[in-house]
Amino acid sequence: MRVMFEIRVKNEFSAAHNLKNYKGKCENLHGHNWAVETVFAYDAVDKDGLAIDFRRARKLVNNAIEKLDHAYLNKLEAMKGINPTSENVAKFIYDSVKRRNKKIRSVSVWENERSCTTYSEVTPAR
């Protein structure tokens, strides 16, 4: 049996976007109060019993989302050439955090209480 510790932190940011090539209301400029849940996975804890301090984990995510907070996502350099969908926002945050911590497992981005996208590079079990 393999032991695994999953550490989850939640962060938030507010941003506006409009979806390109979308036939519906979301093609119009609109905004969300996005919720972000990030999962880190560790095989072990340190001498103090911590895999990663929650504050440190939240700071890693905050460093990524500060570029998105109170921004018009379509105009950001980071979103240049891509549609600012929840899928692409989740991947952007994941990639940004991964550059600083390889133990990231997934990023879930909630546009509202009912709609979420999760990005992960973990190979699913068969």
Q: Write the CB contacts of 8 (distance below 8 Å, at least 6 apart in sequence).
A: 37, 38, 39, 40
User: What are the sequence ranges of the domains in the chain?
Assistant: 5-120
Candidate list 6, 66, 70, 121, residue with the active-site label? 70
Residue reference for tokens 């009912």: 114
Specify the pTM.
0.92
Can you tell me the distance from the alpha carbon of 18 to that of 109, in angstroms, rounded to the nearest whole number? 16
Candidate list 26, 27, 30, 121, residue with the active-site label? 26
pLDDT per position as a tens digit, 39-85: 999 999 999 999 999 999 999 999 999 999 999 999 999 999 999 99
Q: Which CATH number fits domain 5-120: 3.30.479.10, 3.40.630.30, 3.40.190.10, 3.30.365.10?
A: 3.30.479.10
Q: Does the active-site annotation cover 111? A: yes
| 91 band by pLDDT with thresholds 50, 70 and 90 | very high
Q: Does the active-site annotation cover 26? A: yes
| 125 band by pLDDT with thresholds 50, 70 and 90 | low
Instruction: Identify the residue with better confidence: 27 or 12.
Output: 12
Give which of 93, 102, 98 is closest to 37, Cα–Cα.
93
Helix intervals (H) in 1-112: 54-65, 86-98
